[in-house]
Amino acid sequence: MSPLTLRLEGSRVDGIASLYRELGRVLMPDEPWTLGESLDALDDLLYGGFGVLDGAAPACVTWVDHAASRAALGVEATRAYYRAKLERPEVYAAGPAQRALDALDAGAGETYFDLVLRVFADHENIELVLA
């Protein structure tokens, strides 16, 4: 079976919210609802069953102009992401968010772009090509 070929436009990504709009545009064009701004939601989407992905069917996602996305989802966006979690201790566990923020501030943590790459890497049926 030939893989489904999809194209993410990195130039459309200027932060976390726009990343999820772009993912929705590409992966869920005919869905009547939008993808939440959540790595867990992205993980669920990549498992398939809705949108253009069909479970274990192979797909190749080419992320063109990924360098623009990498910059937009870099250290500053990631700091804001973790700080927002820390502001809502009734929803998010503060410990993991603080440890991730501390690692990021020490130059050893993953950026949001890195976290997204890790989610894609967990799906063997989806090849992500950075272009």
Per-residue pLDDT at 68 = 98
**Confidence (pTM):** 0.95
Cα–Cα distance, 69 to 12 (Å, whole number): 8
- Which of 67, 64, 20 has the alpha carbon at shortest distance from 45? 20
Answer yes or no: CATH 3.40.50.170 is held by domain 1-73+113-131.
no
Cα–Cα distance, 16 to 19 (Å, whole number): 5
Per-residue pLDDT at 44 = 94
pLDDT 10s digits, 72-124: 999 999 999 999 999 999 999 999 999 999 999 999 999 999 999 999 999 99
Domain boundaries, the chain: 1-73+113-131, 75-110
pLDDT 10s digits, 7-30: 999 999 999 999 999 999 999 999
- In this prediction, residue 49 has a pLDDT band, given cuts at 50, 70 and 90, of confident
